[in-house]
Amino acid sequence: MEVLKQRVTMLTNQEVLSFLNSVKKEEDSKAHGDRCKMLATVAYETKKYLNASPAATQNEAVICELIPKLAPFKLTGAETLQIVNLRPANTTDASLLIEETEERFPETEELEKLITIVSECLPPPPKR
Amino acid sequence: MFILSLLRDTIAIKPHQFVVDQQMVIKKRLNERLANRVVPDLGLCICVYDISEIGDSYILPGEGDCRARVTFRMIVFRPFVDEVIEAKVIGSSRQGLTLSIEFFEDIFVPAEKLPEPHVFEEEGQVWYWEVAQEDEPPAKLYMDPGKIVRFRTTEIIFKDLKPDLTQEEQKTEKSMEIKGTMASTGLGCVGWWTPEEDDEAVEDEQDEMEVAAH
């Protein structure tokens, strides 16, 4: 087997979760002999993890709504991905995900504005 | 956390499978071969995402299998360096903490990367973070197994393992290991940094101390 391109793109946790849900449906409709055991294990465990994360309550629409709203903050792709995946609820969380926060966000209000936008767009994560 | 990788592999389809949908058979064969497996220098394969191209099929002399070169995209777990991930503590020792994210359990935070100053409690084999407080003895914030913590990825180590490992080697050798750090503001147990849960954390500490006293 050869690796043609290591990273075509990155996926958000929500995308992976919804894809695995559709795979599960497909697998369930098959006869027992046609199912793939290894896939069932990893899909179950990955879903278990993701269902306890903020990805469980998100959907494509809310993420698409959030991305353009984050544009004025000039975040990198990786930072945006992290914000979607972890949904920071306070400034400490956000500065953890954004590199050189102090230089890029000299005013705390800016960072608070970002938190407000994220909290408005993305639904709260499931309770543990 | 997850990426899409473009891979190519040669797949053999058995004659009795010719009748069923070719895409479905190929997906199944690829998942059987790759799902839940680590590809060196790539990551942990989760599931085939889609098939981009099925090359010309050919049959080798003397057998009935039909072989095709398939180009496909795979969902792969491969965190990037500096990525922050939430995980559960599953192991604690003098060397550090072992973390789990359900589908992957080879995450290790070495002792020197725990929040400073950290203390190891021999009794119970747990780590705690000693936080200085005004007019009070320092608070002990425990990182015991079962707690949800946040860590920052510092390194991903791949190791090509030989297939003939003894049982003992299988336990210690890992084909993919993630090294992380918790020594930074915002990292560590998730409850430490949210203001409204602070009280809860303190209560938790008190409970633990009471238990220890009994």
Section A102-110 average pLDDT: 84
The rounded distance, in Å, linking the Cα atoms of B84 and B109 is 13
The rounded distance, in Å, linking the Cα atoms of B176 and B165 is 16
Q: What is the pLDDT of residues A32-49, one digit of tens each?
A: 777 788 888 899 999 999
Domain co-membership, B97 together with B71: no
pTM for this entry: 0.83
Domain co-membership, B100 together with B52: no
Cα separation values, B78 from A113, B20, B40, B41, Å: 31, 33, 11, 10
Domain co-membership, B28 together with B118: no
- CB of B80 closer than 8 Å to CB of B93: no
pLDDT category at B74 given cuts 50, 70, 90 is very high
Domain co-membership, B48 together with B139: no
Is residue A6 in a domain? Answer: no
Sign of CA dihedral B182, B184, B187, B191: positive
Using a CB–CB cutoff of 8 Å, tell me whether A51 touches chain B.
no
pLDDT beyond 80 at B43: yes
Q: Do A11 and B103 touch (CB under 8 A)?
A: no
pLDDT beyond 60 at A115: yes
Tokens of B176: 């993919």
C-alpha dihedral (A76, A79, A85, A87), degrees to nearest 10? -120
**ipTM here:** 0.88
Report pLDDT for A15. Answer: 92
Mutate which: A3, A20, A44, A98, vs B, most B CBs within 10 A: A3
Q: What is the CATH number of the domain that holds A116?
A: 1.20.1250.40
Q: What is the pLDDT of residues B87-131, one digit of tens each?
A: 999 988 888 889 999 899 899 999 888 887 888 888 878 888 887
Which of B42, B71, B86 lies at the smallest CB-CB distance from A6? Answer: B42
Burial of A77 (0-12, 13-18, 19+ CB in 10 A): exposed
Which of A5, A34, A90 lies at the smallest CB-CB distance from B28? Answer: A34
Section A102-127 average pLDDT: 85
Beta-strand relationship, B43-58 and B96-100: unpaired
pLDDT beyond 60 at B203: no
Report pLDDT for B195. Answer: 63
Domain co-membership, B90 together with B57: no
Is residue A22 in a domain? Answer: yes
Report pLDDT for B197. Answer: 45
Beta-strand relationship, B176-181 and B107-110: parallel
Number of domains observed in the structure of chain B = 2
Q: What is the pLDDT of residues A67-87, one digit of tens each?
A: 998 888 888 889 999 999 998
